Copies of this chain bind each other. A is one copy, B any other.
Amino acid sequence: MDYRLKRYFNVTAGNPEEGLHRAKLAKHTGCNLETVRYYEKIGMMPDPPRTAAGYRVYNEGHVSRLRFILRARELGFSIEDIRGLLRLVDRGTQTCAEVQQLTEAHLADVRNKIRDLKRIEAVLAATAAQCSGEVVPDCPVLDALAS
């Protein structure tokens, strides 16, 4: 399709609101503009279709995938961890056993994170509560994770 024609369709041939350029994807997800390109480069995000002029065009699928990646990073998952999680989404050739093993490993990791965060939560909540008085309690933050 000629790019002159594409204009009539607001970038993509389909639904107008499904076609996002890079800046809009970034804004929708809270991602840095350049990071979008970076994740594409390292293979975390698929190469998006392009307009005739070479502009990247994203859809809702890209939005949720990118949101997931960003939040998973905030939750302390490494790039490789996230690749593993996304493999559960992108799979096709994997056997069920492989999927299960991967899943169980992530599950253990996630549950440990939850456990430790709850410990921190408890300590912080106690601190905040006691602190409403004049007395600043002795702060056992470090002990929260004293495995």
Contacts and interface: CB of A to CB of B under 8 A. Distances in A.
Interface of A: 64-65, 67-68, 71-77, 85-86, 88-89, 91, 94, 96, 99-100, 103-104, 106-107, 110-111, 113-114, 116-118, 120-121, 124-125, 127-128, 131-136, 139, 141-147
Contacts of A88: 127, 139, 141
Contacts of A132: 100
A107 B144 CA distance: 14
A114 B103 contact: no
B143 A64 contact: yes
Given A111-B121, A146-B64, A141 B76 contact: no
A136 B88 CA distance: 10
Q: Chain A interface mostly helix, strand, loop or mixed?
A: helix
A71 B147 CA distance: 10
Contacts of A77: 76
A115 to B, nearest CB: 10
A94 to B, nearest CB: 8
B68 A131 contact: no
B104 A110 contact: no
A128 B100 CA distance: 5
A116 B71 contact: yes
Contact of A85 (B107, B121, B133, B141): B141
